[in-house]
Amino acid sequence: MALRQAVDWSLYVVTDAGLSRGRSHVAVIEAAITGGATVVQYREKHAPTRQMVAEAQVLRELTRRTGVPLIVNDRLDVALAVDADGVHLGQDDMPAALARRLIGPDKILGISASTLAEALQAVQDGADYLGVGPIFATPTKPDAAPPIGIDGLRLIRQHVSLPIVAIGGINATNAAEVMAAGPDGIAVVSAVVAAEDIAVAAQELRAMVNASRQRREAASN
């Protein structure tokens, strides 16, 4: 509970073994955290479960040491096995209300929403935050829903008070524009894990999120 309240959603980095240029998850995520990542999601769709548990375990040790929440994509079994801080579920993953019953009230439950209806359902099902997107088209998830654009993000933001992390094709060239629509942070894959200098890439994105949030706070005063 304390953890769920305290999460800083500014820069949410999602692993992708195929985009990491041969660097290990732990090397990638250590650099991302050094650069300012505030949340880490372990996402792996095709490895054997034993490998997933082993990889997530290494990230669990790293994120615990650095005080960054660890979320596991889709696989509630892997999340429970490594005592992750939460799970993130897409619309093809376990139904959210069922997942909430299995993980209990204290773990973080994140739900992907690409429409307002999905967002409102996720709120009702007990989500702690929403991953809203894809904002832009992205090559990393070819099976993703069509992009919802900044307008789609703004619409959901206007109707949902839960934390929102925008995802899908976000990078340093569009992060300021995305943040202006009001999410709590941005989730990135290739913009960080595929970067030549991961820490610098994360630092640049984090600075943009920070600047945007400061402008927002100034405007609301």
Cβ-based nearer residue to a copy of itself, 102 or 211 = 102
Give the one residue of 5, 22, 50, 221 binding a copy of itself; rule: CB under 8 A: 50
Residue 96: name the closest of 123, 58, 132, 59 by CA: 123
Q: State the catalytic residue, choosing from 43, 100, 157, 206.
A: 43
Contact 209, 186 (CB under 8 A): yes
Indicate whether 46 belongs to the interface with Ni ion (CB under 5 A). Answer: yes
Which residues, including other chains, have CB under 8 Å from residue 76's CB and lie 6 or more apart? 87, 94, 99, 102, 103
Active site residue 107: no
Cβ-based nearer residue to a copy of itself, 89 or 130 = 89
Listing DSSP states for 20-76 in one string gives STT--HHHHHHHHHHHT--EEEE--SSS-HHHHHHHHHHHHHHHHHHT--EEEES-H
Cβ-based nearer residue to a copy of itself, 25 or 75 = 75
Name the minimum Å distance from CB 49 to a copy of itself: 5
Contact 127, 144 (CB under 8 A): no
Contact 19, 191 (CB under 8 A): no
Indicate whether 102 belongs to the interface with a copy of itself (CB under 8 A). Answer: yes
Give the one residue of 76, 132, 165, 192 binding a copy of itself; rule: CB under 8 A: 76
Name the minimum Å distance from CB 80 to a copy of itself: 5
- 200: its two tokens: 């610098």
Active site residue 10: no
Q: Which residues make up each annotated binding site?
A: 41-45, 73-74, 93, 112, 138-141, 169, 189-190
Point out which residues bind a copy of itself (CB under 8 A).
48-51, 53, 74-77, 80-81, 91-95, 98, 102
